Every structure is written in structure tokens, then in C-alpha cells.
Amino acid sequence: MANVLQKTFSNIRTREALLAEISGNETMKMTYESWEDEYQKEFLDFCTGIKGVKVLYDSFFKEIMDPDTVPERLEELLSLILKQKIRILKVLPQESPYIADGRSLVIMDIVIELENHSLANVEVQKLGYMFPGQRAACYSADLLLRQYKRVRSERSESKKKFSYRDMKKVYTIIFYEESPAEFHQFPDDYIHRSRQKTDTGLEIDLLQEYAFIPLDNFRNILHNKGIRTKLDAWLTFLSIDDPEWIGRLIDQYPQFRRYYEEIYELCLSTEKVMSMFSKELQELDRNTVQYMIDEMQDKIDEQKRQLDAALSERDAILSEKDAALAEKDAALSESSAVLEEKNREIERLKAALEAERSKG
């Protein structure tokens, strides 16, 4: 019996047909069998329409939202997020030659130059702890430096004087599938826009702006309030794999039907999709290992802090005891000196008494 998505999209295959194709190809079979059971099930579920595809998977996101081939999609999404009309002028290299991340260059997800020559970086993060505010600030600084280098070079080539007023805004937009803990303190908010400003209200164009989008918060709000706006529709498309919600989305906003059709057309290329999925699993493994390392380091740091605190407390107690002993020693020394003085006085008196006796 066809499931909800199979009824909606005729090009979705059955589980039996998909497994038969995988079994008939040695390379695909080896890849499939190398996955853990839960990932085998996940792959079968989204390819056969039991669940929707996770559009935020890096490979799918870049395929469906490719600013080179379908710029209008990302333009519409960014226009809704940034609350201004966005037009993409060109796509820039993802690798940054300016900020090095240890042994390799920083690689951003999608970097674009807008029609007004502003720059925007769109990041998709599954584990929020991997992209804290500090990293967002570094990526934003990188965008600003890229623009600075380009503008200076262009001015030099055209024999024009460089002016900092030629610099345009840079935008850093981050989608979190699972957001960092601080976002959970604002459960009723699913988009946080940020820009630098003075404490007096003085307006200075400091160029760097951000949009943080915790999609886990959005999903909770969606289940309570439904799809209310076009931005809600986009975030539903990006973050929901429940077939019932996908049905509601394409009923309310039919444009998304085409996007899902493209996804399921892509799923017909089983070997390509398996390769894309394998890359996602490798990235997930790397992130999980890094998360475990970071957690272990946090525990070690906390244990060291507790040990240092205990040692400091012990040293303080010992110092206090040493001070008390020193005070007692001083008191004993003083008492000894008094006794010595009294003994000398006694001896003096004895001598005087003996002298008196001798006279008599």
C-alpha cells in the first residue's frame, strides 16, 4: 500500500524495488551493508517516502538551494530572513585564504555576493555546539576581510583611492538543526537578528550583521501554531521530514511541490544519493567524535578546576595551621624567656641571701 508521499509523488519507488537495485550492484551493496542498522533504515525511509528527506543535509541543501542554478530560491529565503530585497550577484569560493582552522582553511557552506556588493555566508549546522557565537564572529570577520581585500584591489587596478566608505555590509546566517543551549532560554523565538550598536543609540554602520535560526525551537512552535507565514513555510521545508506536515506545506504553498519533486528525482540516482548520504554519515561521525572529545576535555578541565580548588583550600588550611603553630611557638618562646628571666632572678636572690648569711 502506497504511503502518503508515494501517493503525492509518483516517482517515489517502493522499498522492494530500491533494495533489489542495491542488491544487484556490488558497490552499492557494500556501501549499504557498511552502514549501521539505523542509517540503513533512515536511507530507505526517505528514498521510499516513509519520511521526508532531511533537506538540511549538506548535499541535499546545496543541490536544491544551489545559488548558481536556482538563485531565486535562496534570494527569497534570505529576503524573508533579512527583511529586505535580496539579489545574488555571484557565488564566491567557499575556502577562506584568510582564517586558518588549525591544519586547513576554513570552509564555509555557501558564500555569495549580493547585488549591492554586500557579502553573505549561509551556514547549516546539525550540532549547535560546533558553531558557537565566537565562531560566527570569526566567519563574519573573514567576510569583512575578503571584501576589504577585494575593494582595495579593485580601487588599485582602476587607479582610484580606496575609502572605507566603499565597504558594504556582511551577513552571517546560521541554521541550527539542534541549537546551542543558550537558544533554549528563548523557546518562543526561532530567529535572532543581531547587529552592533552603541549604548547611546548613536547610529554607526559597523557592517557586520547576523541571523541565528534555531530550527529545533521552530519545530516546537510549528507543532503548536502551524505554518503562518512564508518564512514559516521555508523553515518547514528545511527542517521537517514528517509526511503529514509536508502535505500541509505543499497545500498551503504549492511552490514547494516542485522542490520535493526534484528531491525524489534525485533519489532515483541511487548510487549518487548513497554517496551523498555516506558523506553525511562521515561528517556526523567526525562531529560526534569531536563532541565526545570536547565533552571529555570539559570534564577534565572541570576535574582539574575542582582539584586546584581543593589543593588551594588545603594549602589555605595548612597555611592557617602553620600560622597558628608559629603563633604558639612565639608564645612558647616568650614564656621561655620569662621563665629564664625568673630563673635568673631567683639565682640572683639566692646569691644575695647566701652573701647575707656569710656576713652573719
98 and 168 housed in the same domain: yes
Final residue of a structural domain among 231, 249, 268: 268
287 lies in the same domain as 300? yes
pLDDT, tens only, 131-150: 888 989 999 999 999 999 99
Q: What percent of the chain has pLDDT over 70?
A: 90
- Which structural domain range is residue 358 located in? 272-360
Decide if 233 is inside a domain.
yes
Of 193, 196, 184, 195, nearest to 211 by C-alpha is 193
Same domain for 333 and 307, yes or no, is: yes
25 lies in some domain? no
Name the band, by pLDDT with cuts 50, 70 and 90, for residue 349. Answer: confident
pLDDT tens per residue across span 160-181:
999 999 999 999 999 999 999 8
Domain-ending residue, one of 268, 298, 330? 268
Distances (CA, A) of 308 to 168, 298, 300: 48, 15, 12
pLDDT value at residue 104 = 46
Encode pLDDT of 224-263 as tens digits.
999 999 999 999 999 999 999 999 999 999 999 999 999 9
Do 293 and 216 lie in one domain? The reply is no
* Residue finishing a domain among 241, 268, 295: 268
pLDDT for res 169 = 95
239, 242, 244, 245: CA torsion to nearest 10:
-10
Domain assignment of residue 227, yes or no:
yes
Same domain, yes or no, for 174 and 84? Answer: yes
77 and 196: one domain?
yes
Q: Is position 31 within any domain?
A: no
The verdict on residue 28 lying in a domain is no
* Residue 32, domain member (yes or no): no
Residues 173, 282 within the same domain: no
Compute how many other C-beta atoms are within 10 angstroms of the C-beta atom of residue 222. 21
Residues 313 and 198 in one domain: no
Residue 216 lies in a domain: yes
pLDDT at residue 103 tops 60: no
Q: What is the mean pLDDT of the chain?
A: 87
User: Among 171, 162, 165, 103, which Cα is nearest to 142's?
Assistant: 171
Kindly state the percentage of the chain with pLDDT values over 90: 57
Model pTM above 0.75: yes
Q: Is residue 61 part of a domain?
A: yes
- What pLDDT score does 259 carry? 95
Domains in the chain: how many in total? 2
Query: What's the rounded mean pLDDT across residues 96-102?
Result: 59
92 and 71 together in one domain: yes
CA nearest neighbour of 90 among 106, 76, 74: 74
Residue 126 vs residue 45, higher pLDDT: 45
Q: Are residues 142 and 204 in the same domain?
A: yes
Based on the domain organization, do 226 and 128 belong to the same domain?
yes
Does 177 share its domain with 305?
A: no
pLDDT at 352 over 90: no
